[in-house]
Amino acid sequence: MKLYKNKFNMIVILIVIILALVGCGQSVESNDDSSDSDNKTSTVDDTTESIILAGIGGGDIKITIDEIKELKKVNEDVISLSSSGEETELNISGGLLEELLIKHNVSQTELDGIRITATDGYSMEIPSEILKNRDIVLTYEVEGEPLLKEDEPLRIVIPEERAMYWVRSVSKIEVVEKKTAAGKQVEKVLIFDAAISNLDKQDYEYYEDLDKAIKIDDLLSEFVPEGKEQVFIKASDGLQRNETRETFKDAFIKITGENSPMFLSPDLPEGMHVKGILWFSSEKVAFLTMDKALGVYSKLIQEDIEGIPLKEVLEDIDLKQGDIYTFTASDGYNIEISKNDINKGILYKADDGSTRVGFEGLPKNTTVRDLLSIGVK
Ligand SMILES: Nc1nc2c(c(=O)[nH]1)N[C@H]1C(S)=C(S)[C@@H](COP(=O)(O)O)O[C@H]1N2
Ligand SMILES: [Mo]
């Protein structure tokens, strides 16, 4: 009995000591907080322990991490596959985005896309094919432990999809509106190489190299109507990416050196850069880069000329179909070709590096030198 009492006393003393220590810790923290938030009404908890859910009617909705912890907890072994091919096995726990969305009367399966933004400026769109087929785990535990400081307050994990979608330190989840989603039917294809010929080329430092780049804003303001539609980018390795017009416009395309043509900006996290652009489109206008096109599409040899089939290119870009197509050169020369002759077309590069289109069996004047654009009547 006495022994028991002593033990009891010890425990009481221990608890008092622990409480005192915790109390000290708290008072230090709250001093920090008050100096931080002197002229703000929110507390630190408000900004770090919650995320914004936007674009599902009405205004922004604040979702606390506690609310996410109230969703059914899923636990999974997953493999993270980085762009460099590195694989990492992880065990993660979190709630499903779908359960959260259903609470707000939407299902991820019927959305055109969601854009996830992080506190470090990283931002990635999850396209509808992924939304239809995959679980999106709002992850708050990795290997049974709370997230690392730099990944707080939330990490996205999409099992079976590459790590570029696994956004760390999420600040916002936003439903992409149909009217801003990429994917209006393309009505005009511009040859990128010809389109940039009169634009300002500036020096761009890329690792050890000094390359040349164009400002995307210069290109868009010359050839693409103003609009809110996103930009769709397809790379020569098959990567497909939607980017907001705002982010795209403020960045660069590096046109010389390694990985060119490459979408990049010193202001964007590297994971948002796109190497080896094949074509990109927005607001019904697409730009095709010839060096990549010659490597990606089928080889075609026609009358001693080596190039690529026009038809295959136009199908990949999904140019609107019509009865008559127009081909226009940089100097204004233009021809009209009937839809029945499109399969006779070959796109190739002349010795001077400019692009040409020719049609097998059609008169010589249907060959267009220094091709700038392809349109539909
Ligand atoms: N917030 C944030 N999340 C991010 C990125 C980033 O730059 N910022 N990079 C993405 C990319 S492109 C990859 S490949 C993975 C890298 O994850 P890892 O560091 O675990 O390899 O995180 C993704 N999530
Ligand atoms: Mo990446």
Atom of ligand 1 nearest to the CA of 156: 24
Atom of ligand 1 nearest to the CA of 83: 14
In tens, the pLDDT along 18-73 reads 444 444 433 333 333 333 333 434 444 444 599 999 999 879 999 999 999 999 99
- Which residue's alpha carbon is at the smallest distance from atom 6 of ligand 1? 122
- Which residue's alpha carbon is at the smallest distance from atom 18 of ligand 1? 82
Cα of 159 to ligand 1 centre, how many Å? 14
pLDDT of residue 208: 95
- Which residue's alpha carbon is at the smallest distance from atom 10 of ligand 1? 164
* 97 neighbors 136 (Cβ within 8 angstroms): yes
Instruction: Name the nearest CA neighbour of 224 among 254, 192, 255.
Output: 192
Ligand 1 and 165: CB distance under 6 A:
no
Q: Give the residues across from 306 on adjacent strands.
A: 301
For the chain, residues classed under CATH 3.90.420.10 are 50-178
Strands 123-127 and 113-118: antiparallel
Tell the CATH superfamily of the 50-178 domain: Oxidoreductase, molybdopterin-binding domain (3.90.420.10)
* 308 neighbors 348 (Cβ within 8 angstroms): yes
Ligand 1 and 163: CB distance under 6 A:
yes
**pLDDT < 50 regions, the chain:** 1-5, 13-47
Predicted TM-score (pTM) of this structure? 0.86
pLDDT of residue 4: 45
Residue to probe by mutation, ligand 1, list 164, 270, 272, most atoms within 8 Å of CB: 164
Cα of 83 to ligand 2 centre, how many Å? 4
Q: Which residue has the tokens 């030198």?
A: 369
Task: Give ion ligand 2 contacts, CB < 5 A.
Answer: 83, 164, 271
